[in-house]
Structure 1
Amino acid sequence: MVFKRRDRRSPVQIASEFVYPRGGWTRAFHYVKHRVRRLPDSPERIARGIGAGVFAAFTPFYGLHFVVAAVCARLINGNILAALSGTFFGNPLTYVPIGVVCLQTGHFLLGTEFQEGDTQGLMGKFANALRDLKDNLIAMFTDRVADWHGLGIFYREVFYPYLIGGILPGLLAAAICYYLSLPLIRTYQQRRRDKIKAKFDEIKRLAETKAAVPVSNALGSAKSSERESGDV
């Protein structure tokens, strides 16, 4: 297939490159930056798409951030490809601070308590929720009794506070990224248009110069022939 990798990666390599990409996060950031700046769309739509992607990074729908970003970009008439690139804001280096901010904000808005141990036990609650899903799926086809205790704790203490608490920080981060990226994209696109215009002007000038050379040669030969005929 044309779009398949030649060097197939193992699951361990895929997981390691998700945590630390090949070439480092700096190279990955510059790659995303250049891809966003070269999008063929207006600066406003691209900036709105970036804001939608950043907002999606503050939602608890891990694994579905691309879908959330695309839907948000569609709702605000933003560039969908820019929104997908904007989800890069959420990465293994920022997931922990984003999660802490969202959980703290969510518990504050809901009037519940946020304990520091909640972040330490987050993976345990997530694992219990996944275990409940697996066991209850098996219970549908066996005589095992379904138990939603772990999933209920995860929903009440993690998912719902995260969902509510991620709205305000997500909107704030999205607005900041929108207003920061908009002038940068405008400047880059204008500079790129100027370079393309200068290149075409240079090509046009060279073409006119080449076209003028045969004309001048023809005029010179005509004048020399007239002088020769006059001498005769």
Structure 2
Amino acid sequence: MLFRRRQPETFGQKLRGALWPRRSWRRSARYMQRRVLRLRATPHAIAAGIATGVFSTFTPFIGFHFIIAFALAWLIRGSLAGAALGCLLGNPVTFPLIWASTYELGRYVLAAETPDGHAPASLGPALMRGDLSAVWTPYLKPMLVGSVPLGLGFALLTYFVVLTMARSFQETRLRRTAAERALAAARAAQPTLNGPLP
């Protein structure tokens, strides 16, 4: 393989790289920002795609976030690549905060009682049988209800921020490209000093 490491990473190194950036948070954020802005799509498509990824991350359907994001992005003509990048909001660092906030908001909206902190005795056998009703009412239902307003709020905020950044980036790139083409045309139009004498 062309870019394979000389010494393969150990499991601990891979885990550390997944949880904490190798260089710095600032450099990693800058890298992600450039990847988002360089997507080949309209500013609306980029922003809408990323917003759908952010929204789907707030839902409690772990394992289906990409599918939800792709379906929503397709419906609103968003970028599928942007949707995949938006799903990166969900990671081992942010998921506990997302789950806790969606659960608490959903419980508040539903005026539900707080479980005593212990899993139901029949939870294991119920999940083995595929009976999700054992966790639906006490946990998943509040998380789903809380995920809608939180997910929509963060998705709208993300949409407008990314839309503004993508428009600015693409306009700057168009101006720079036009200036480079004009400069190249001007250089090509100038007579060369070492050209043949008449």
TM-score band by shorter chain is 0.7 to 0.9
Contact kept in structure 2, 1:54 and 1:89, CA below 8 Å? yes
Q: CA deviation at 1:56?
A: 1.3
Taking the aligned partners of 2:28 and 2:126, their CA distance within structure 1 comes to: 35
Contact kept in structure 2, 1:103 and 1:114, CA below 8 Å? no
Taking the aligned partners of 2:161 and 2:168, their CA distance within structure 1 comes to: 12
| 2:190 aligned counterpart, secondary structure | helix
Taking the aligned partners of 2:64 and 2:22, their CA distance within structure 1 comes to: 23
Q: CA deviation at 1:204?
A: 1.1
Q: Aligned in 2, Cα 1:38/1:155: closer, same or farther, shift over 3 Å?
A: same
Contact kept in structure 1, 2:126 and 2:134, CA below 8 Å? no
Contact kept in structure 1, 2:47 and 2:162, CA below 8 Å? yes
What TM-score do the two structures reach when normalised by structure 2? 0.82
Residue 195, structure 1, aligned to residue 176, structure 2: yes
Question: Which structure: larger Rg?
Answer: 1
Taking the aligned partners of 1:5 and 1:68, their CA distance within structure 2 comes to: 33
* Aligned residue type for 2:42: S
For 1:182, the equivalent position in structure 2 comes to 163
| 1:62 aligned counterpart, secondary structure | coil
Contact kept in structure 2, 1:103 and 1:165, CA below 8 Å? yes
Q: Which of 138, 143, 165 pairs up with 1:157?
A: 138
Name whichever structure is richer in helix by fraction: 1
Unaligned runs of 5+ in 1: 137-145, 219-232
Pick which of 205-214 and 104-113 moved more: 205-214
What TM-score do the two structures reach when normalised by structure 1? 0.71
C-alpha RMSD of the superposition: 2.9
For 1:21, the equivalent position in structure 2 comes to 21
State how many pairs are aligned.
195
The share of aligned pairs that are identical, in percent, is 29
* Aligned residue type for 1:54: V
Unaligned runs of 5+ in 2: none
Q: Aligned in 2, Cα 1:204/1:83: closer, same or farther, shift over 3 Å?
A: same
